[in-house]
Amino acid sequence: MTRQITLSKAVNEALAEEMRRDPTVFIIGEDVAEAGTPFKVLAGLVEEFGTDRVIDTPISEPGFVGMAVGAAMTGARPVVDLMFGDFLYLVMDQLCNQAAKTHYMSGGKLTVPMVLRTNLGATRRSAAQHSQSLHALVAHIPGLKVALPSSAYEAKGLMKTAIRDDNPVVIFEDKLMYQDKAEVPEEEYLIPFGEACIKREGRDITLIATSSMVQVALAAAETLAAEGISAEVIDPRTIVPLDEATLISSVRKTSRAIVIDEGHRNYGITGEIASRLTEKAFYHLDAPVLRMGAMDVPVPFSPALEDLTVPTPGTVAEAARRLCRGEAMDAA
């Protein structure tokens, strides 16, 4: 049985179910308890699990992430709430030097089964310091897993897998999608890491998209279908680990690919994935592999400008058209 629930509700359910199942799971972060976070995702949890397991902190990201790392090393399974993905910069040492490396540097004696729950996504008019999509920063660090749910269905399944994973996992939800609904099973289900999902099958071009860009790619695919271009849309779901095999097998079929991600285009996720495709599917490519990401500028505050900085169904469709025509490219 499935029902339509919002992404926010799906995350809430995942956390509640895991906290019921495993008493060592707890939540820590700013405004997580009574406020349920500014996005109201955690509403109701402190009522059920109490303030010992849903812990409000002062504004002290390095502090409470450090606490969570320590708690994880000593037997707990913390879910740390980082209110905005932009605050990653504040916790890089705790996350990338401590959490990511402890298992390796302790010779396997210590594990850090911590989940860092945060968000990404622009066009919310939150300006440059609250609109960044920084998953590339953590994907680059060995020792961290990175999940990018693209709908309520993914959000619940990936969160449960993350909590049960003994490694530190960073999950980025798209803050624009909290009220978006999707079919979510009532029964328990988990989505394994390293397994991509083909959201739409196609023959002419592969669109690989993450997070909310999956919806953008699907909309572009609709437009293209009306023009006779059959686009395959793939959601990698986790970028670390990355399901390369599914992506490459798709590109071998279509011989063209565009990678779409909301991080900045330069030196980001799209470059990594495009590179792997070029490396491993080179002799099957009939066109260059394109990257589409957010413009390489600080996210503008002006709504008109902000909306121009991210890929849209229109720009994705246009890029796909030009690739299929075999034109020399300069996709923005």
Partner 1 sequence: MPLDVIMPALGMAQDTGHLVAWKKKPGDRVAAGDVLFEVETDKSVMEVEAQGEGWLVDVAAEEGSDVPVGRVIARIADSPGESGAAEAQASAPAPDAGAEAPAPAPDTPALPEGRAVIMPVLGMAQDAGLLVAWSVEPGARVEAGDTLFEVETDKSVMEVPAEAAGYLAATLAAAGEEVPTGEVIAILTETAPEAPVTRTRAEGAAPAPATPPAKAEEPAPATPPARAEERARPVSPPAPAPETGGRLLASPKLRRLAHEEGLDLALLRQAGVPEPWHVRDLERLRALAAEAATAPAAAPAPATAGLRLVATLSEDSLAGTLAWAAERADLAPEAVLAGLAGAALGLPATVAVETLHARSLWHVPSRRLTAVTAAGEDATPSLVLRDLTASRLTEIAAGPEPAPVLTLTRGPAGLTLTLEAAPGALAPLAAARLLDGLAGRLEDPLRHLF
Active-site residues, by number, are: 61, 130
Distance CA 45, CA 296 (A): 38
104, 189, 282, 301: which one binds partner 1 (CB under 8 A): 282
Buried b (16+ CB within 10 A) or exposed e, 39-62: bebbeebbeebeeebbbbbeeebe
For 153, 162, 326, the CA distances from 180, given in Å and listed in that order, are 11, 22, 36
Number of helices (H), then strands (E), in the chain: 12, 14
Number of residues counted as binding partner 1 (CB under 8 A): 10
38 binds partner 1 (CB under 8 A): no
187 binds partner 1 (CB under 8 A): no
Stretch 232-261 residues interacting with partner 1 (CB under 8 A)? 255
Closest distance of CB 247 from partner 1, Å: 17
Stretch that binds partner 1, among 26-34, 80-88, 190-198, 277-285 (CB under 8 A): 277-285
DSSP state of 257: E
Mask 197-236, x = binds partner 1 (CB under 8 A)? Answer: ----------------------------------------
Our CB check for partner 1 shows the closer of 104 and 282 to be: 282
Our CB check for partner 1 shows the closer of 120 and 289 to be: 289
Distance CA 185, CA 40 (A): 22
284, 313, 321, 322: which one binds partner 1 (CB under 8 A): 284
Distance CA 127, CA 124 (A): 8
Stretch that binds partner 1, among 18-26, 53-61, 70-78, 282-290 (CB under 8 A): 282-290
DSSP state of 267: T
Stretch that binds partner 1, among 6-14, 61-69, 164-172, 276-284 (CB under 8 A): 276-284
What 3-state DSSP class applies to 152? helix
Report yes or no: 144 and 88 within 8 Å, Cβ to Cβ.
Answer: no
Q: Rg for the chain (alpha carbons), in Å?
A: 20
58 binds partner 1 (CB under 8 A): no
286 binds partner 1 (CB under 8 A): yes
Binding site for partner 1 (CB under 8 A): 255, 282-287, 326, 328, 330
